[in-house]
Amino acid sequence: MASRRSPIAISGGILISKLQEANNRAEELRSLIYYHDHRYYVLDAPEISDAEYDELMRELIAIETEHPELVTPDSPTQRVGGEPSQAFKPVRHRARMMSLANAFSFEELAAFFNRISGELGTDQIELVCELKIDGVAVSLTYEHGMYVNAATRGDGEVGEDITANVKTIQSLPLRLFLEAPPDVLEVRGEAFLSKEQFKQINEEREELGIPLFANPRNAAAGSLRQLDPKVSAKRNLDMFVYALGYVEGVAFTDQWGLLKYMEAAGLKINKHIKKVGSVQEAYEFCEYWQDKRHSLPFEIDGVVIKVNSFARQEKLGATSKAPRWAIAYKFPAEQKTTVVLDIELNVGRTGALTPTAVLEPVVVAGSTVGRATLHNEDEIKRKDIRIGDTVIIQKAGDVIPEVVAPIVSKRTGSEREFAMPHECPVCGGEVVRPAGEAVARCININCPAVIFEHVIHFAGRAAMDIDGLGESVAHQLLDKGMIKDVADIYYLTKERLLGIEHFADKAAENLQAAIEHSKERPLARLLFALGIRHVGAHVAEVLAETFGSIDALSRASFDELVATPEVGPKIAESIIEFFDEQRNRAVLEKLKSAGVKMEQEAATGKGIARNLNGLTFVFTGGLTQFTRGEAEELVKSMGGKASSSVSKKTDYVVIGENPGSKYDKAKALGVKIITEDEFKRLVQEISSRG
Ligand code: IVH
């Protein structure tokens, strides 16, 4: 059969040269784009506008779309689109990935220096000081200058393949800027998230009601462990390189030379590096950055001090875990003392009263802290925190402020112990703390604080998603008596909305349109929005699927409810209690009359690979490679179900570290138990089939 190409070849040079021309232009565009990526993402010194850059990208995409045969794997258009099925496959490191020994004081640094001076027979040792980036260690391999793979450290010998996810890091060159690239260049570095990115990701997660990442490092790890590189790409990871792995075809004499070589190759190195000749100077560098660390746009947790000469490094060797030629000086968690001015109570959507310490404002780990949650009454008692106490505070994971302990010696006798009130501080309603529970609640269903929180939850992104109904508008609607419950939202007219401060025609119209639009949300969203205790977004989905309408759910008996996957006695009771409450029934009636959708639409049969169809998973214990939420999302995205309790209907119990009673129950019921790794393999196998 004649190939599609032959007529082109026969018809002479014109068409060939056209293709050649396209190829040349594509290559030219790629070089230009690499150059500008480097200016922008590595050097932070762009030379062209975003619009001009987009134009280059558009032209390249147009050529590659017309001639797919011209696409190269290192093309900037290919950053996203790697093979997720390859994700996490084991990769044996050609040179071991080691960690570092730690020092926590000048004395420990001096001991390190004395040891190496003894072994090298001199105290004239050049050292390189670098920042210790708080991210995830990654090994990158370039062959003949082309990016070929990336792996996590794993146990140091075998890591996991994260090539596709790392490829989405924009500062990473897919082709090295070297005239004569070495056959193999394996470099190590740290993938990380800027503080700003971390904040944005957590804000988004908060809105969606998914658990927050505790710190940027966890967020970076989570982002690298996404099965879908498109998700990684959205996280805007970045990366600094700082060490050598395995190489062929190039030799280095020292760490400083390596850093400069990597920089010239287009890789991103951190510019805060210093060559020093003594342990005192190294310590000065540590002290300087301990003080200035918060001015950096990314997190560091210390300074790494390395012997510069590679010959000396070799002489010093390594232990089984860490090189003897380097040490990490770790910063202490920054603590401050301040005074507890008051302990305030916040009333949440479920009426839960959460005590918060109001503090004399003080700067800790780079930002001013004026409040810190004290969680609950027992926690305050356990730590013996009193109003008026001078306390030590710090930020957990350098992010969330917490009160560590009172300084008892500073007490004057005028401090006051905290006592949970019997009346709600907002409405005066009764406060109840059920036996065995840590949380005290206001049980007045008309409590304005509870209603306010409920309105915010109802209108939130993961619930009815009413754009424009945020805190300030909700406050006004309630204060002005325009709404008394969430159903009243659907009876607001444009005229009434104009009564909101700073609301002109357009804003009122937009809000009204958003409210109208929200009537069509799927049943699961409405169920979640109603704020029934223990009914989160996931359980709401299961209930919507099982019962199909609010009416049917409201009529369900306890037995019918507990027979539903995911639903245990606690949730069942809470649902029954909710529908028993006259006020809730009235709200539902009003929602119905306003035209809010109260039924499930017929199944749409989404076109995704639903290979876990019908299988129910329960996760228990600490997962190390996914957050619980991610693992559950993954199961759902593949058509399975994630449940929080083990029953005979459970198909798999996935165990992480220190699995709890669910593990015992699974064993007792004979449910199949798999490890987190086995779960990951199962998912990979299915996604590579799909
Ligand atoms: S050198 C063989 N340099 O800290 C030595 N590590 O606690 C390899 N890290 O595993 C590491 N910044 O993930 C080195 N400038 C830096 C670093 C750095 C962060 C990380 C790295 C390492 C961990 C050890």
C-beta of residue 587 within 8 angstroms of C-beta of residue 565: no
Kindly state whether residues 626 and 564 are assigned to the same domain: no
C-beta of residue 224 within 8 angstroms of C-beta of residue 237: yes
- Which of 129, 242, 320 for mutating ligand 1's site (highest number of atoms within 8 Å of CB)? 242
The domain that holds 354 is classified in CATH as 2.40.50.140
Residue 648 domain-assigned? yes
Q: Does residue 237 have a pLDDT over 90?
A: yes
Give the atom of ligand 1 at the shortest distance from the alpha carbon of 100.
24
CA-nearest residue for atom 13, ligand 1, is: 137
For residue 517, the tally of other CB atoms under 10 A from its CB is 13
The domain that holds 26 is classified in CATH as 1.10.287.610
Kindly state whether residues 536 and 460 are assigned to the same domain: yes
Centroid of ligand 1 to alpha carbon of 66 (angstroms): 44
* Distant-in-sequence, close-in-space partners of 478: CB < 8 Å, separation ≥ 6: 448, 451, 452, 455, 484
Of 674, 667, 684, 572, residue with least CA distance to 619: 674
Q: Does residue 144 have a pLDDT over 50?
A: yes
Residue 105 domain-assigned? yes
Query: Residue 248 gets which letter from DSSP?
Result: E
Centroid of ligand 1 to alpha carbon of 99 (angstroms): 6
Q: Does residue 606 have a pLDDT over 60?
A: no
- Which of 98, 129, 133, 262 for mutating ligand 1's site (highest number of atoms within 8 Å of CB)? 133
**Element counts in the chain: helices (H) and strands (E):** 25, 22
CA distance 130 to 116: 18
CA-nearest residue for atom 4, ligand 1, is: 132
Kindly state whether residues 237 and 111 are assigned to the same domain: yes
Centroid of ligand 1 to alpha carbon of 37 (angstroms): 26
C-beta of residue 541 within 8 angstroms of C-beta of residue 524: yes
CA-nearest residue for atom 17, ligand 1, is: 132
Query: Which tokens hold the place of 291?
Result: 């003080």
Main-chain phi, psi angles of 652, to 5 degrees: -135, 135
Query: Which tokens hold the place of 21?
Result: 């021309």
Residue 669: what residue type? L
Element (H, E) at 233: helix 229-234
CA distance 619 to 629: 10
Q: Does residue 553 have a pLDDT over 60?
A: yes
* Distant-in-sequence, close-in-space partners of 238: CB < 8 Å, separation ≥ 6: 41, 169, 170, 171, 191, 192, 193, 194, 268, 298
Kindly state whether residues 394 and 470 are assigned to the same domain: no
The set of protein residues with a Cβ atom below 6 angstroms from ligand 1 is: 98-100, 130, 132-133, 137, 190, 242-243, 304, 323, 326, 328
Give the atom of ligand 1 at the shortest distance from the alpha carbon of 322.
2
Give the atom of ligand 1 at the shortest distance from the alpha carbon of 134.
19
CA distances from 126 to 105, 113, 304 (A): 20, 11, 14
CA distance 261 to 365: 34
Centroid of ligand 1 to alpha carbon of 563 (angstroms): 51
Q: Select which of 89, 132, 234, 665 is catalytic.
A: 132
For residue 658, the tally of other CB atoms under 10 A from its CB is 9
| Sequence-separated contacts (24+) of 404-408 with Cβ below 8 Å | 404/335, 406/340, 407/337, 408/384
Give the atom of ligand 1 at the shortest distance from the alpha carbon of 102.
7
Q: Does residue 688 have a pLDDT over 60?
A: no
Average pLDDT over residues 434-452: 90
Kindly state whether residues 139 and 272 are assigned to the same domain: yes
Query: Residue 332 gets which letter from DSSP?
Result: P
Of 350, 357, 373, residue with least CA distance to 431: 350
- Which of 93, 96, 97, 100 for mutating ligand 1's site (highest number of atoms within 8 Å of CB)? 100
Burial letters 82-97, b for 16+ CB under 10 A, else e: bebbebbeebebeeeb
Centroid of ligand 1 to alpha carbon of 138 (angstroms): 10
Kindly state whether residues 60 and 145 are assigned to the same domain: no
**What is the pLDDT at residue 368?**
87
Number of domains the chain is built from: 5
* Distant-in-sequence, close-in-space partners of 290: CB < 8 Å, separation ≥ 6: 331
Residue 242 domain-assigned? yes
**What is the pLDDT at residue 611?**
65
CA distance 557 to 599: 19
For residue 533, the tally of other CB atoms under 10 A from its CB is 15
Query: For residue 509, with 0-12 CB atoms within 10 Å meaning exposed, 13-18 middle and 19 or more buried, which class applies?
Result: middle
CA distance 680 to 364: 39
> Which of these three, 78, 99, 122, is where a domain ends?
78
Average pLDDT over residues 143-171: 94
Angle between helix 569-580 and helix 582-593 axes, rounded to 10 deg? 70
Of 324, 329, 428, residue with least CA distance to 131: 329
Main-chain phi, psi angles of 623, to 5 degrees: -85, 145
CA distance 645 to 619: 9
Residue 224 domain-assigned? yes
Q: What is the CA radius of gyration of the chain?
A: 30
Residue 467 domain-assigned? yes
**What is the pLDDT at residue 631?**
85
Q: Does residue 6 have a pLDDT over 60?
A: no
CA angle 643, 648, 651 (to 5 degrees): 55
Convert the pLDDT of each residue in 312-341 to its tens digit.
999 999 998 899 999 999 998 788 999 999
Has 132 been annotated as catalytic? Answer: yes
CA distances from 574 to 445, 526, 562 (A): 15, 16, 12
- Band the pLDDT of 3: cuts 50, 70, 90: very low
Among the residues of 235-374, which ranges form H helices?
255-264, 279-292, 310-316
Kindly state whether residues 324 and 267 are assigned to the same domain: yes
Provide the percentage of residues in the chain whose pLDDT is more than 70: 93
3-state secondary structure of 353: strand
C-beta of residue 150 within 8 angstroms of C-beta of residue 141: yes
Q: Does residue 637 have a pLDDT over 80?
A: no
Query: Residue 212 gets which letter from DSSP?
Result: P
CA-nearest residue for atom 11, ligand 1, is: 99
Quickly list DSSP for 601-626: PPP---SS--TTTT-EEEEESB-SSS
For residue 298, the tally of other CB atoms under 10 A from its CB is 22
Give the atom of ligand 1 at the shortest distance from the alpha carbon of 328.
7
Kindly state whether residues 47 and 139 are assigned to the same domain: no
3-state secondary structure of 430: strand
CA distances from 669 to 276, 550, 619, 661, 678 (A): 63, 33, 16, 12, 20
3-state secondary structure of 367: strand
Average pLDDT over residues 663-676: 84
C-beta of residue 675 within 8 angstroms of C-beta of residue 655: yes
Of 351, 344, 355, residue with least CA distance to 447: 351
Centroid of ligand 1 to alpha carbon of 623 (angstroms): 24
Convert the pLDDT of each residue in 33-82 to its tens digit.
999 999 999 998 999 999 999 999 999 999 999 999 999 989 999 988 65
Residue 206 domain-assigned? yes
CA distance 348 to 335: 29
Query: Which tokens hold the place of 605?
Result: 């049969």
Kindly state whether residues 516 and 383 are assigned to the same domain: no
Average pLDDT over residues 477-502: 92
Centroid of ligand 1 to alpha carbon of 136 (angstroms): 9
Residue 344: what residue type? E
Q: Does residue 614 have a pLDDT over 80?
A: no
Centroid of ligand 1 to alpha carbon of 132 (angstroms): 6
CA angle 114, 119, 124 (to 5 degrees): 65
The domain that holds 464 is classified in CATH as 1.10.150.20
Angle between helix 106-120 and helix 279-292 axes, rounded to 10 deg? 150
CA-nearest residue for atom 23, ligand 1, is: 99
Give the atom of ligand 1 at the shortest distance from the alpha carbon of 270.
15
> Which of these three, 314, 330, 346, is where a domain ends?
330
The domain that holds 263 is classified in CATH as 3.30.470.30
Query: Which tokens hold the place of 655?
Result: 């165990």
Residue 486 domain-assigned? yes
Expressed as residue numbers, the domain containing 683 is 603-689
Quote the mean pLDDT of the chain: 89
Kindly state whether residues 46 and 134 are assigned to the same domain: no
Quickly list DSSP for 661-673: HHHHHHHHHT-EE
Residue 438 domain-assigned? no
CA-nearest residue for atom 10, ligand 1, is: 99
Kindly state whether residues 280 and 308 are assigned to the same domain: yes
C-beta of residue 166 within 8 angstroms of C-beta of residue 195: no
CA distance 117 to 141: 34
> Which of these three, 593, 627, 653, is where a domain ends?
593
- Band the pLDDT of 11: cuts 50, 70, 90: very low
Average pLDDT over residues 111-127: 97
Kindly state whether residues 222 and 308 are assigned to the same domain: yes
**What is the pLDDT at residue 397?**
56
Of 459, 462, 458, 442, residue with least CA distance to 450: 442
The domain that holds 660 is classified in CATH as 3.40.50.10190
